[in-house]
Structures are given as structure tokens and as C-alpha cells.
Structure 1
């Protein structure tokens, strides 16, 4: 990758211009990465305390519909273009029209914190990416709206946001590159995108933020039987990604069709969410669900766990609450892998780890970013199985994606 990047760069730049290129993007990546890393640290700090507060005040769940209505009002009257979320970043990458409005950052931060405070089943990557993209794109005012520099800035925002919120700078880099064009990676962007991801990650850590450490210690033997088993799970993870995408789209389209006034959609969706939680009588589907993800690595989960997380997340996001899909996808994948482990005679921690990234790969069309994320989180010992499951899930899920504006070659 490094050789390809350098030869491509040299082909279009003189030695003098190469020096200017590295100086310019070193400074910009450092500055932007620092801003985004600091913002992510603030977000994670607030999210941790809000989650802890809700866990000790479970009655807050009853106010989720009202919270949803307030989020709906805020976005309906003030968000404008920012209401498109992650898809606006992708659209601006391909068909630039205007700088991403800075208000996207505080709006999604507030919307996500309110969603989690009252128990909505959502993630955090969407928030980090949107904040990163909005902050980074303010620096695009230094360049032409239609220049390659502006594309680089947008990629920097995505990678720095993703890397700092999950603690995975290499995966964050490739995620940004895969996100914009499925199946292709443009090497000319690698240096500034990687540097910003690393700096954002370091800055976030410097603010005292710690990321969840998932305990995966077993190594799966490399043999034909194990390859066949993991391949089979890759199919299951790809199907889970499809179910998640389809159900989220169904909830969104149904509420949009039958409820004309947008702020009422999260009100109705939140009411349905609360009623279902009370019927089930289990609160582990609220918020991120990190404790259940951790548990799935050493305790086999039952079949309904991943299915119910799909349902509750689809209702939350489909109704218009804010957050992201990725951590719920981690939950779905890890618990599905944990459930399948006993039937395939694979150690539970390995299959939970594989599912953790593979469902994510199928839903976002970023199989190599997910493979690298698995290596950063769990080590390199099972890297071939991570890659195999992620790629199969990506293929099985077809062109279904949580990001509707993604482009295909």
C-alpha cells in the first residue's frame, strides 16, 4: 500500500510539490485531528456518565417518547441539510454543493445524548462521524469546494471521528476510504487520512478516555473444517445485516407514510419501544448494550438476544432518534456468534469476536476496515478468519447498506 501510494504521488508531483504536500497535510491533519479528538473525548465522557445515570434511574425510559418528540422538533425546525446525517457527507464528497453546516456537530451530539439518556437503542459512530465531518469541513473554506483537497478534508473528518470514538486508527482510516466508494481504495488520500486518525485517537486518550477492552484469548486452528465453519457463520452474519437494514428501513418508511408531521414519528416510535421493553421485561437492550457484548465473549447467548436488539435498534433509528448503528451491530454480531458457537463447536470468544465485526462489515460495505478493526481490538492470531467472515458477510448482504448514498464502482 505504501509503495503504491508513493509511486502514485510521485507520478503527479515534483519533488518540491511533494514536500509542500507533506507539510500542508501534516499541519492540517494534526490540527483537524486534534479538534476532532477533543470533541470525541467530550462526547464519550458525557455518554459514559449519561449511560451510568440512566442505569440507576430506569424510570427515565418512560420519558423516551417525549424526548423523541423534542429531538424531532429540534431537527425539523433547525437542522436543515444536517438532517441527512452521514449520507450528507457522502453526497458532498461526490456532488459538492456547500460546506457541511457546523450546526450538524452540536445537533447530533445533543440528539444522541438525549436518545441514550432515555434508553433508546442506538450507537455512537454516526455521532462521531457527523461531528468529525462537520468540524473538518469548516477547513474546506481554505480550498475550492470542488477540489481534491475538499475530498481529502471530508475523509479526514470521517476517519478521525471513527478512530477516536472506537480507539482504532487503522480501521478508521480504511473505513473512511471504503465508505465513499465500495470496493475501491484511493491511495492518494492515505497519508492525511491516517495521520488525522492517529492524532485524533491519541488526543482522545490524552483527555483520559479509555475504550472498552473485549477479552478474546483463544486461537482457532487453521484447517479446512474450521474454514468451512467460519464461512458458514459469515453467511449467517450477512443475513443478520440484511435483516437489520430491511427492518430499519421498514420502520422508517412506515412511520413516514402514516405520520405526516416528522416530530411525531419519534414520539410514536418511542412509545412502541417502551411498550415492547415493558412486555419483555429486560432492560439490556437499552442504549449501547456494552455489558451484554462483553458477556457474549464468555457466556453463550440465546437466540432471541440478537433478534431483539435488531428490533429495538430498528425502531429507535427508524423513528428518527439519533446516534449510530455500529455499536448495535457489534451487539447483534457478538451475540449471534455467541449463540452459534456451541452448535459449531467453536470457542465462544472467537465466534463472538468474528460476529462483532462481520455483521458490521455486511451492513456498511467495509469488509477490510472491519478486518483491521478486529485485528486492532482482538489481535492478529485469528486475522484470516476475521477477513474470511467479513468478506463473506459483505458478499452475502449484496448492495444492502445502512448508508444509502454509498457509491458502487
Structure 2
């Protein structure tokens, strides 16, 4: 038993080494693409053609890589119970999503980076599983290792990567406890590997934490209600826009072309380029100074149009920006420090949209420290509970009823199922 666990720790570390190196390449290229986009405004006008070209390549050569994160979640969720439903996570997903995301950001699309890291991680992990000839359960564990190392490496938050991989597949319970140690090894090695390649991550200062009082608790709950509603609005809008584009425009390349034109129009409507790409300067500013009250609305619209029309990239960094700018806009109303509310908004909006409250709580601890941990947990849980039954990962919801007004302790449902099986076997 011990020997088997040591082997799986080695497999997790190997996954982290592969994914961490891929994440370093991705982040270095993304930083350069962002620099070029900022320096050369004219690149924005190439967005429609660039998006159309990437969509055409995906349709012709991408196979099932176009399903993105949902393909990986589906295979983890179904693989153990229905072996015949295995659908390969193709190795080509890694270079396709890497180049596609670079192109999105080079030409100004509003998207994130987590989706790219997770898909690269899942693709490389599944290829490693084929080389190692693991069984169906081992394949699931390696895919989870790919998610944890990709998420942890791209944000510099390995512990959040671990919890996110275990929590994001199925709402209300962790997918498997067997994966905890391999995923932790993958996340830690992935993070250290990325840093060893010279990649650095942003740091945020949440400022002073308000002293505990019931008044502050009530204000945090009020802010968390707003964060949860924002999560719902973002996820629902993204799904609606995707369906609307698909219904009106049959060809993927044409959807991307029209979406690119819409992003160009939005730049002139907003009279600002702050909402293009990752919008990291906007994210940093939300912790340091006052921002326009509509900043979170504009970032939502830019991102929904970009991703809804088929451009590649993740949702998480835009959700960070939306949450932080929304928190910044609430500070005058709630009379709480702007940096404090920006930090709560960053993790809480993501919590509601990804249905991953514990991962987002751990993310907050890694980003901001343990001061204010109670407020962070409260904001994540409340946002999750009020964000409805939708989310940014559609595969996560299939066949799983989300608890709307309570949180299931991770693993309780799974343990109850195992107890019933043992009782039935004895009977």
C-alpha cells in the first residue's frame, strides 16, 4: 500500500513538472502578447480576423478539444462509473489552447488564463496516463492532478489548486479522497516549477481588516449577496450569449468575427481600453484607488461578448477583476475599506460562478493571508448559496442538484453511499 502511494506521489510530481513548465511558457508568452497589444493599438482591429482563423482551425483540426474545461470535468465525473464513456483528452488540446489564448490577448479579447492552464494540465496529464498505462481510476486521479497543477501554477496558489481540483467537478462533495496527496504533489511541484522558470505573480494588499462587530458582519453579508448575484448574472449571461450566437450564426468562424467587431465597438462605447485582455492594471487599482462605479459592468460585458462568441481563454481572471471592482464600488455605500471589499469580491464572485466556495476561501488565504479569514469564508459561502444553479462549467451541473440554501460537507454524500453499499453487501 505504501509503495503504491509513493508511486502516485511520483506521478503527481511528474505531472506538476510537465504542467508547471507548460504554464511558465504560457504565462511568459501571455505577458509579451499583452505588452504588444498595449503598445500597438492597431492590433485590436485584427481581432475579428484572428478570432475567425482560430475558430476555423479548431473546427477543422481540434477534434474534441473545442469542449475545453468541460471535456476534462466530464471525463473525471463519468470515468469511474461509466468506463465505456471515456473520451480521450487529446494532446493537441495543449498547443491549441495555448496558441488560441495568446492570439485572443494579442488582439485585445477580454479573457482569462485559468482555462488555458487547466486544459493544458488535463491534456498533458491524460497523455501521461496513457504512457503509464494507468487504469480508469488512475486516469481520473491524473486528470485531477492536471487541474490542480495548472490552477496552482498559473496563479501561484498551490493549495487552492488542490481544493479546486477536488471541489469543482461535483458540487457539494469532493470527487475522490484518493487524489488528495497526488494532487497536492502536482500543485506544489507545478507552482515551484513555474517560479523556477522565472515567472512571478501579482501580490495584492487587502489593507487593514475591520475589527469584529456584528455591524461589519452584516455589511459583509450584504456585500456577499451582491457578489453572489454578480456571479449569477455573469454565468447566466455567458450561457445566454453563447446560445444566442449559436442560434443566429451557424459557423464558428463567423461568430468569432462578429464577436470581434462587437469588442471593437465596445471599446469606443466605453471610451477605454482598460477592459481588454486580463485587465490586471484595473485589478491592482481596485485595491489602491477609487474606480468608476460602472467598471465591473463594462468588464462583464467585454468578457461575456469575447468568450460567448467563441474566443479562447478562461473566465477566472475576469471574474477576479469583476469582483474586485464591484467591491471597490461598494465601499462608499457600506463604509468599509475599498481594498478589503475588493479582496472579498475577488474570491467571492469566483466562488459563486465556479461553485467552489472552499477553494476560493483557500485562495483568499494564499493571496491575502489569514487575517480576516472569517470574513473571507463568510463571503465565499454566502455568494455560493445565492448564485443559483448555474455556473461557468456546464459539465459540473449535469446530474447534480446544487444545495441552494446550505452547504454539504465535502465527502458526506460519498461516505453515505459507501455505507449503503456495504450494508447491502452484508445483507
Asked if 1:159 corresponds to 2:142, the answer is: no
Native 8 Å contact 2:122 2:147 kept in 1: yes
**TM-score when scaled to structure 2?**
0.90
Native 8 Å contact 1:179 1:365 kept in 2: yes
Equivalent positions of 1:300-339 (< 5 A) are 300-339=290-329
What is the CA distance between 1:99 and its match in structure 2?
2.6
Native 8 Å contact 1:215 1:349 kept in 2: yes
Q: Tell me the secondary structure at the aligned position of residue 221 of structure 1.
A: coil
Asked if 1:391 corresponds to 2:389, the answer is: no
**Residue aligning to 1:10:** none
What is the CA distance between 1:21 and its match in structure 2?
2.2
Q: Where does structure 1 differ by over 4 angstroms across 4 or more consecutive aligned residues?
A: 142-146
Q: What is the distance in 2 between the residues matched to 1:181 and 1:146?
A: 21
Alignment deviations for residues 153-209 of structure 1 (CA, whole Å, 9 cap, x no partner): 110000000000000000000000011111112322210011110000000000000
- Residue among 233, 238, 241 paired with 1:251: 241
**Residue aligning to 2:8:** 25
What is the CA distance between 1:298 and its match in structure 2?
1.8
Q: What is the distance in 1 between the residues matched to 2:306 and 2:207?
A: 34
Asked if 1:184 corresponds to 2:173, the answer is: yes
Equivalent positions of 1:59-208 (< 5 A) are 59-96=42-79, 97-141=86-130, 147-185=136-174, 186-208=176-198
Alignment deviations for residues 35-90 of structure 1 (CA, whole Å, 9 cap, x no partner): 10000000000101110111110111111111111111111111111100000001
| Structure 1 residue runs without a partner (length 5+) | 1-16
Q: What is the distance in 1 between the residues matched to 2:270 and 2:169?
A: 39
- Residue among 390, 403, 408 paired with 1:400: 390
Alignment deviations for residues 340-386 of structure 1 (CA, whole Å, 9 cap, x no partner): 01111111110000000100000000000001101100110011111
**Residue aligning to 1:12:** none
What is the CA distance between 1:254 and its match in structure 2?
1.1
Native 8 Å contact 1:361 1:390 kept in 2: yes
**TM-score when scaled to structure 1?**
0.94
Q: Tell me the secondary structure at the aligned position of residue 35 of structure 1.
A: helix
- Report how many aligned residue pairs link the two structures: 392
**Residue aligning to 2:262:** 272
Q: Tell me the secondary structure at the aligned position of residue 137 of structure 1.
A: helix
**Residue aligning to 2:35:** 52
What is the CA distance between 1:142 and its match in structure 2?
5.0
